[in-house]
Amino acid sequence: MVLLALLLLTFLNSCGVIHIEIRDRKPSSQPQAPPPRKEVKEEPAKPPFKSEELLRVRAPVKGKAARTERGYYINTGCGEFFMSVSDGRVLYVGDDVKGYGWLIMVDGEKGFVFVYAKAELSLVKRGERVRVGQPLGKVGSSKEGCGLLFEIRNLEGRPVSFELVL
């Protein structure tokens, strides 16, 4: 019975259901000094660009750009190819984010993630390296018409203010 109880406690402890701690009953006769700490100077993280500078990015596709809450919606012809605006690695390709249609996310230069949404077709896959100007996919259609939603995010996923250069 004791063995069964011990096995049950061991099992629950390994599953994380309970926590068992074993301590000595007698305190140590000599107090131990804590190990010396190594002081490490941490440099503050540098922003990818000066805060007073407005990030300027070339448009991924030709068309009429309209500002949105998080970026730009670029009206263009259905089936037009859109290009990568930065060298980087493809983080995500899929259509399971509601309201974005086919979505391609590229981890680009200087700590930015470039988001291309409402695509009809993707020409890249997750993990693939891409270069500036490389076709990523084809523009799709939605209730807004034919166009591409383009956003830039920082590494925390927050939208970055930027200016689109056509």
Domain of residue 67, CATH code: 2.70.70.10
In a domain, 134, yes or no: yes
Average pLDDT over residues 127-156: 92
Helix (H) or strand (E) holding 104: strand 102-107
Q: Which of 6-10, 77-81, 125-129 has the lowest mean pLDDT?
A: 6-10
Q: Is residue 18 part of a domain?
A: no
Query: pTM of this prediction?
Result: 0.67
* Distance from C-alpha of 50 to C-alpha of 106, rounded to nearest angstrom: 22
Work out the pLDDT band at 38, boundaries 50, 70, 90.
Answer: low
Q: What pLDDT digit, counting tens, does each position of 85-115 carry?
A: 999 999 999 998 888 888 999 999 778 999 9
- Asked if the structure places residue 89 within a domain, the reply is yes
**Any domain includes 153:** yes
**21, pLDDT greater than 60:** no
DSSP letters of 1-43?
-HHHHHHHHHHHHHHTSS------SSPPSSPPPPPPPPP-PPP
3 state SS of 109: helix
Q: Residue 11 domain-assigned?
A: no
In a domain, 48, yes or no: no
CA–CA separation, 82 vs 62, rounded Å?
Answer: 8
Cβ-based neighbour number of residue 70 at 10 Å: 16
Whether 40 maps to a domain, the answer reads: no
Q: Contact 84/131 with Cβ under 8 angstroms?
A: yes
What letter would DSSP give residue 68? -
Which structural domain, as residue segments, surrounds residue 98? 55-165
Give how many domains the chain has, as a whole number: 1
Q: Is residue 36 part of a domain?
A: no
* pLDDT attached to residue 47: 43
Angle at 96 between CA 92 and CA 102, to 5 degrees: 65
d(CA 33, CA 38): 15
